[in-house]
Amino acid sequence: MKSLPNLSFWKLFNISAGFFGVQIAYALQSANISRIFATLGADPHQLSFFWVLPPLMGMIVQPIIGVLSDKTWCRFGRRIPYLFVGAVVAVAVMLMLPNAGSFGLTTQVVLWGLTGTMLFGLMSLMLLDTSINIAMQPFKMMVGDMVNEQQKSVAYSIQSFLCNAGSLVGYLFPYIFTYLGISNVAPEGVIPNSVIYSFYVGAAILILCVIYTTLNVREYTPEQMKAYSGEGACECAASAASPAQDQKTPITTIFLTIGAVQFFCWAAFMYMWTYTNGAIASQCWGTADVHSAGYQEAGNWVGVAFAVQAIGSVIWAALIPMLTRATSTRMAYMLSLLIGAVGFISTLWVTNQYVLLGSFLLVGCAWAGMLAFPFILFTNALQGNSKMGTYLGLFNCTICLPQIVAAVFGGALLGLVGGEQVMMLVIAGAFLVIGSLCVFTIKEK
């Protein structure tokens, strides 16, 4: 059995290049969905319910893509067909979603207290997140398929850089377009052009990046995979036994213990994505009126704050190797989450928009830890397993399920704190503290 060959830097880069475009789409969704639905008329207490769909679709789609792509072999590759189809659908939806208020749909309540406009936006959001999940998962799997153990740290570092770079660009687009003179306000119930154009440009970059990866990456054939790892097409087409049947106890244990940490971390970030716009508008602009110019300016500043978070994540990610050498993986993980907790909780006392960026710089440390440590710990337990895609798809449930739970109870929690959206960021900080304590339950291999 041969070892996977060393790949040049550019081959490693090409495998993840499309991830840049996918993350732009994801960042635009994360930073603007609450703003879009608030503009369309959603009550702040309803906002968290709109966020149920993205993680729900991720929890359904990513395990399916993992199982199917594990067994797919065709002339276009193993993972790339799913990547390309997901990107094409995402582009189509990105052209429609920000126009939800411009199609002349009825403003009458038609179902479950929602207007026709909001229902259209909700269906578009469901399709967008489904397609992003379809496109995102293959990148993680291709690294597992094509990169040897010695180069995986480099490959995942490239992917992490492209992830944060794409997020940075996506978060800043509305602010940049407003600076260039594109209108940041619109008639009631209509999304501002600064947001609409951001989605248009993001869609163009997404498809170009995915085409680049599609044209420059050649996945290994079944024969090559069999030679490198003993995995062949016949094995992939074999009877699909339940993944749980071949899980060993150590994998199950690490799945559950990391999942406990993931629960509190991703619930925290769900509240950040949902309530930061309202929190910043109230704290720094002194308004809760979604139709005011101040609220829309705060919406742009959310993108700037999230961009600073991405910068903090890049900086902290560069320090992670030194931290793990100086302490341990678990201690570095715990420290990352605690620093992020300080960032969230500090927003309660910040009323200056520029000082607020310091809080989100700290939040970026938690984000870097969440992107790195769970996958390091989990993939170590999976080393040499032929069902990498299936297990990673299932592991995605530890990301999606906490977001669903947080979204379902978000409105009730907001009511308990008097409707103050900044208090939801404080709750997010408390969740990260609890998550950091759960780190000690993880057994390092």
Is the pLDDT higher at 443 or at 433? 433
Is the pLDDT higher at 388 or at 217? 217
Is the pLDDT higher at 221 or at 200? 200
The mean per-residue pLDDT over the stretch 42-46 comes to 62
* Spatial distance between the Cα atoms of 396 and 284, rounded to a whole number of angstroms: 35
Is the predicted pLDDT of residue 202 greater than 90, yes or no?
yes
pLDDT at 333: 92
pLDDT in tens, 297-329: 898 898 889 889 989 988 888 787 778 778 888
Sign, CA dihedral 400-406-409-415, equals: negative
At 281, the pLDDT band (50, 70, 90 cuts) reads very high
19 Cβ neighbours under 8 A, 6+ residues apart: 136, 139, 159, 162, 163, 166, 209
Number of H helices, E strands in the chain: 17, 2
Is the predicted pLDDT of residue 433 greater than 50, yes or no?
yes
CB 220, CB 54: distance < 8 Å: no
Pick from 113-127, 172-186, 364-378, 419-433: least confident: 113-127
Please give the model's pTM, rounded to 2 decimal places.
0.73
Is the predicted pLDDT of residue 234 greater than 50, yes or no?
no
- List of domains in the chain: 12-232+247-441 (1.20.1250.20)
CB 387, CB 70: distance < 8 Å: yes
At 123, the pLDDT band (50, 70, 90 cuts) reads confident
Is the predicted pLDDT of residue 364 greater than 80, yes or no?
yes
pLDDT in tens, 384-400: 555 666 777 778 788 88
pLDDT at 393: 73
Is the predicted pLDDT of residue 76 greater than 50, yes or no?
yes
pLDDT in tens, 250-276: 677 888 899 999 999 999 999 998 899
pLDDT at 272: 94
* Spatial distance between the Cα atoms of 332 and 320, rounded to a whole number of angstroms: 7
Is the pLDDT higher at 428 or at 287? 428
pLDDT at 295: 86
Is the predicted pLDDT of residue 243 greater than 50, yes or no?
no
pLDDT at 319: 82
Q: How many CA atoms lie within 13 A of 366 on its CB side?
A: 33
Per-range mean pLDDT, top range of 160-174, 184-198, 238-252, 355-369: 355-369
Mean residue pLDDT across the chain: 81
pLDDT at 303: 83
Is the pLDDT higher at 109 or at 150? 150
* Spatial distance between the Cα atoms of 14 and 9, rounded to a whole number of angstroms: 9
Burial 354-384 (b: 16+ CB within 10 A, else e): eebbebbbbbbbbbbbbbbbbbbbbbebbee
* Spatial distance between the Cα atoms of 362 and 339, rounded to a whole number of angstroms: 6
pLDDT at 171: 85
